[in-house]
A and B are shown apart, each in its own frame.
Chain A
Amino acid sequence: MTAKIAYGDVEVGAELPAQTFPVTRATLVQYAGASGDFNPIHWNEKFAKEVGLPDVIAHGMFTMAEAIRVVTDWTGDPAAVVEYGVRFTKPVVVPNDDQGATIEVSGKVAAKLDDNKVRVDLIVKSAGQKVLGMSRAVVQLA
């Protein structure tokens, strides 16, 4: 593990570079295939509405995968992530148009831990609402 960020260079409150990730219906079909999660709420509008959703929604695990990229792009080596957890609080609704939805992720160092580890808290939003709660990673720095 060779994170490019040194523990000694990081202060509590430091912000990680924020990122924005687009998600369209095509993205969800591709993720369904790659992940093996073919739940129709992620690709079938008729089915999604029948079960009470406003429209097709993104896989929660897709949003979780995007959010941690703010950390793995920061550290360079993704193996720096030693713990990662989220709560799925709101769905990312993905309309059937060219724009789709957008997942906005920001993060900051919330605590410095032992053994050159830090805790990073992530804020993950779509359409102005938080879609993940308690989104936290423990990261091994150099």
Chain B
Amino acid sequence: MALDQSFVGRSYPPTDPYEVGREKIREFAEAVGDINPAYLDPEAAKALGHSDVIAPPTFVFAISFKAAGQVIADPQLGLDYSRVVHGDQKFAYSRPVRAGDRLTVTSTIEAIKSMAGNEILDIRGEVHDEAGEHVVTAWTKLVARGADSEEGEA
């Protein structure tokens, strides 16, 4: 069933703050095998001009995608999540995420399209810090696959 076009432009309430911890950044950096000192050593991060360790560029996805769950699980939208794969992902940063940040995410449905039997949903997550300053915007394209499609991956 086609998704309701009237949901385009709909925004969801900001999430409760997610507090970014040094050890969570370390855990993520080790999981991707990346030992850049900026992620692991506060002194090395300070030498680069950061107030604390920073997170790898894609770290914030765990936060923005959890927030996108509000959209995905919205019963009024009616997305069939069992058929959903991750199509595209993009980030635009005002500054890197860093330890100590308390981040909130505001999710907005940017576009809904039907293409070749697939439903395509574009969600924008605006990530702000406790002071209300923009940190990063995450764009996530989700594709709810039709029966014959093989494109994309979760």
| Chain A interface (Cβ < 8 Å from any Cβ of B) | 1-2, 21, 27, 30-31, 33-37, 39, 41-42, 52, 57, 59-62, 64-66, 68-69, 72-73, 76-79, 81-91, 134
Contact B88 A65 (CB under 8 A): no
Complex Cα distance, B141 from A60, in Å, reads 13
A78 touches which of B31, B36, B85 (Cβ 8 Å): B36
In the complex, what residue of chain B is closest to A136 when comparing beta carbons?
A: B90
Known interface pairs A2-B48, A78-B39; A85-B139 also in contact (CB < 8 Å): yes
Q: Do the beta carbons of A72 and B57 come within 8 Å of each other? A: yes
B153 at the interface (CB under 8 A from A): yes
Q: List 15 A-B contacts (CB under 8 A).
A: A2-B49, A30-B31, A33-B27, A34-B27, A36-B62, A39-B154, A42-B154, A52-B150, A59-B154, A66-B33, A72-B36, A78-B54, A78-B57, A84-B57, A87-B87
Which residues of B have CB within 8 Å of A27?
31, 33
* A61 in contact with B96 (CB, 8 Å): no
B85 contacts across to A, CB distance below 8 A = 88
Complex-state Cα separation, A79 to B28, whole angstroms: 16
User: With A60-B153, A85-B89 known to touch, is A35 a contact of B28 (CB < 8 Å)?
Assistant: yes
What secondary structure prevails in chain A residues at the interface with B? mixed
Q: Which residues of A contact B154 (CB under 8 A)?
A: 39, 41-42, 57, 59-60
Indicate whether A90 sits within 8 Å of B153 (C-beta atoms), given known contacts A61-B61, A66-B32, A78-B39: yes
Q: Are the CB atoms of B58 and A73 closer together than 8 Å? A: no
B38 within 8 A of A: yes
Residues on the B chain within 8 Å of A35, using CB:
28, 31, 61-62
Q: What CA separation (Å) do A17 and B106 show in the bound complex?
A: 37
In the complex, the answer to whether A69 meets B34 with C-beta atoms within 8 Å is yes
In the bound complex, what is the Cα–Cα distance between A123 and B30 (angstroms)?
A: 23
The reply to whether B48 and A64 contact each other, CB–CB distance below 8 Å, is no
